[in-house]
Structure 1
């Protein structure tokens, strides 16, 4: 039997919890600290590659298609790692798995600083991406199982906000290194990856103070009981929910990796902005993302998952169209802001939505990892497609235009998906 404390974590009882709806507990904050910071530093590592693509092209003598392979290798590693460590988190626990994954991507990010050529770089990047993928899976499961159902959407949104914060951190540190080193060539780019080794040491103490998921602990206790008592918690897999989650994330990942990977290069090659100037537009992208996350967190538990997803997809399609076609600096800045707002901000609802639509199962971590990181296939495909088409300015525009098709496809998935707001997890 569940204790009253564990039931309080998963029961959306408005009469009991209504007065405390806005009172986030200490346990919830601690779970957010680990999951959110782990995701922030992972984002630093991911976005750093996007910033450094022009530099790496010069250092290793690579074409745009070859550069796209670096990003696709990252996505491939995240796919494998997210699924693998989702399985591990169901057995080892959310907190320990999150720390293990943070250690992996920290180690291999530091090793990238010593890569002698593109082959070593790609190999090291793949192994680091294993930990990057697992960090989201363990962290999102921890948030979904720790935060009360009435504010689970807020918790997931605040965790995902680490994505733009990490990107802004990468931009800021890259700017400092550029200033000190007079550019990112030579050893400048190596210093940036070496800094990426620090998260493990920063988050080790955070992990020690973070309680394990009460739902995971309850299932672990139940697994020690006779099989006849365990059947009550071993629910059947919701296949339709898993397919819906996977398909939705596939199109979101295509959007994210397609737009965010190639933004710096697109601004230089097609919009003819120098790199320092283009950073202003990239910052607009990230601040738009932060605004998108904050707005999503404020309304998702009130309005529901589906209305928020549909609104963000509509805004995103219009913004990306303006971002691709605009020739005015002002219009371009506004369009990029709303691109970040929507393309990045929509991920605010990913973790809670996946946990809720997949439902109650002893393998929640594995199936969340399968849906989210399996959906990264979209992120694997997008850089290759756009990079291949980007040999000319017109081809670059055509490549980024494929993201508008992904917006429409994601909206169709949401239209047929059920609303999951307030769903109890156990």
Structure 2
């Protein structure tokens, strides 16, 4: 790559040029393997905690409030780790940073298997979450900078599929260990965290054969050759950062708002106990996988903005169905649609953040800041919806998501179309 191209903030593919059907390069395949598998194993670790909360409550003898602390420190660690390792990825490279993050969450997941009190568990969970947050930042930047511009959205969407795949892996292994041990409370839960230590051994091999981002390498070579000041943050980058942050904030609000309270809402308001069965989880995760696949097929053809708007509309219709119907079949369809729209919209988050922030030596840091800072929306949503629900009922609480849907649509509408943008 010519280092002079980094002087241009954004370069686009020729307007009338049709994407060529070029075979996937080795670099594209291997960066997807690193980013996608790393994200899937991180998702396993995150979702496993949700599945084991009732068991941990019995094992440690703690209240629901204390169990909530496990979730809170995980979220806090992910936010800090995502921003911190975004900075690290700009300094030492995307591949090395991804492997470091995988090693961190693998190590501390394995150590959780040997804890005997909630204080040590909480501390270890926080340190493990630092690696979880950093994995997305480094992996998303690597794929965005390696995949061809005309199919970058496909690479990002395929990486995001690791989220439901990791969740399904956690469900399957939990069911298997439960069957083999006769129950998790007697120590079976420890085996599940031991399994969480294995990814680093798998990913060491994957990382070894994964090439570094050509954009990052070109910047390093240019700095060494010219010793001149590198292209850094400008007004355009900061404007892109603000748009990226607000977009992630609102879709995180929707994700955590919808999926934290919907099961409780449908059980207590709609009186549908079946929602705590495996059917609910599978409908949600199947919808998410479908959403990621559709996004991967269409986003590079239709553009980011149309796809985001369609997904937000599908998610809004799903929430509306929650509120107006009690028919089990319709509600199951709504759960699938929520997985498709509210989960699936994250398929485009990595490429979109890289493209809208633009060219800068701090791309990894800014992507981490936007994505993980935007997790504040996920932190606020359960609290705000719960507070509103306690005063005006669950319908009023979930209705706050309407504002978030509209706000996210406004952000997308104001953002430039980034389809085909070249990153330098």
TM-score surpassing 0.5?
Answer: yes
What is the RMSD of the two structures over their aligned residues, measured on CA atoms?
2.9
- Distance in structure 2 (CA, Å) of the matches to 1:342 and 1:38: 23
Cα shift at 1:417: 1.3
Query: What is aligned with 1:414?
Result: 412
Is residue 149–residue 423 contact of structure 1 (8 Å, CA) maintained in 2? Answer: yes
Query: What is aligned with 1:143?
Result: 143
Q: 1:58 and 1:326, CA in 2 relative to 1: closer, same or farther beyond 3 A?
A: farther
Is 1:317 aligned to 2:339, yes or no? Answer: no
Is residue 11–residue 149 contact of structure 1 (8 Å, CA) maintained in 2? Answer: no
Moved more, 129-138 or 109-118: 109-118
Q: 1:366 and 1:115, CA in 2 relative to 1: closer, same or farther beyond 3 A?
A: same
Query: What is aligned with 2:83?
Result: 83
Is residue 257–residue 382 contact of structure 1 (8 Å, CA) maintained in 2? Answer: yes
Query: What is aligned with 2:422?
Result: 424
Q: 1:278 and 1:248, CA in 2 relative to 1: closer, same or farther beyond 3 A?
A: same
Cα shift at 1:35: 0.4
Q: 1:260 and 1:53, CA in 2 relative to 1: closer, same or farther beyond 3 A?
A: farther
Is residue 72–residue 381 contact of structure 1 (8 Å, CA) maintained in 2? Answer: no
Is residue 84–residue 134 contact of structure 2 (8 Å, CA) maintained in 1? Answer: yes
- Distance in structure 1 (CA, Å) of the matches to 2:221 and 2:359: 16
- Counting matched residue pairs gives 420
Q: 1:17 and 1:239, CA in 2 relative to 1: closer, same or farther beyond 3 A?
A: same
Is residue 288–residue 339 contact of structure 1 (8 Å, CA) maintained in 2? Answer: yes
Cα shift at 1:132: 0.3
- Distance in structure 2 (CA, Å) of the matches to 1:382 and 1:398: 13
Is residue 19–residue 150 contact of structure 2 (8 Å, CA) maintained in 1? Answer: no
Is 1:174 aligned to 2:170, yes or no? Answer: no
Moved more, 351-360 or 264-273: 264-273
Cα shift at 1:362: 0.6
Cα deviation per residue 1:108-134 (whole Å; 9 max; x = unaligned)? 111222232332222211111100000
Cα deviation per residue 1:262-282 (whole Å; 9 max; x = unaligned)? 56666776655368x612211
Is residue 292–residue 345 contact of structure 2 (8 Å, CA) maintained in 1? Answer: yes
Is residue 266–residue 322 contact of structure 2 (8 Å, CA) maintained in 1? Answer: no
Q: How does 1:236-255 map to 2 (within 5 A)?
A: 236=234, 238-255=237-254
- Distance in structure 2 (CA, Å) of the matches to 1:262 and 1:74: 19
Cα deviation per residue 1:5-34 (whole Å; 9 max; x = unaligned)? 99xxx9754699957445221110100000
SS in structure 2 opposite 1:211? coil
SS in structure 2 opposite 1:186? helix
- Distance in structure 2 (CA, Å) of the matches to 1:310 and 1:236: 28
Q: How does 1:245-394 map to 2 (within 5 A)?
A: 245-261=244-260, 271=271, 273=273, 278-323=277-322, 326-385=325-384
Cα shift at 1:418: 1.3
Cα shift at 1:317: 1.5
Is residue 76–residue 377 contact of structure 1 (8 Å, CA) maintained in 2? Answer: no
Cα shift at 1:235: 5.8
Q: 1:158 and 1:76, CA in 2 relative to 1: closer, same or farther beyond 3 A?
A: same
Q: Which runs of 5+ in 2 are unaligned?
A: none
Q: 1:55 and 1:387, CA in 2 relative to 1: closer, same or farther beyond 3 A?
A: farther
- Distance in structure 1 (CA, Å) of the matches to 2:362 and 2:240: 14
TM-score (norm 1): 0.90
Query: What is aligned with 1:405?
Result: 403
Is 1:56 aligned to 2:27, yes or no? Answer: no
SS in structure 2 opposite 1:197? coil
Q: 1:327 and 1:382, CA in 2 relative to 1: closer, same or farther beyond 3 A?
A: same
Q: How does 1:207-222 map to 2 (within 5 A)?
A: 207-222=207-222
- Distance in structure 2 (CA, Å) of the matches to 1:143 and 1:369: 14
Query: What is aligned with 1:201?
Result: 201
Cα shift at 1:58: 3.5
- Distance in structure 2 (CA, Å) of the matches to 1:16 and 1:422: 11
SS in structure 2 opposite 1:299? helix
- Distance in structure 2 (CA, Å) of the matches to 1:331 and 1:183: 34
Is residue 233–residue 362 contact of structure 2 (8 Å, CA) maintained in 1? Answer: no
Cα shift at 1:302: 0.8
Cα shift at 1:61: 4.5
- Distance in structure 1 (CA, Å) of the matches to 2:254 and 2:97: 28
Cα shift at 1:249: 0.6
Cα deviation per residue 1:179-234 (whole Å; 9 max; x = unaligned)? 22333323232222221111111111000000000010000111112344x55x44
Q: Which runs of 5+ in 1 are unaligned?
A: none
Moved more, 54-63 or 346-355: 54-63
- Distance in structure 2 (CA, Å) of the matches to 1:15 and 1:214: 24
Q: 1:46 and 1:386, CA in 2 relative to 1: closer, same or farther beyond 3 A?
A: farther
Is residue 13–residue 422 contact of structure 2 (8 Å, CA) maintained in 1? Answer: no
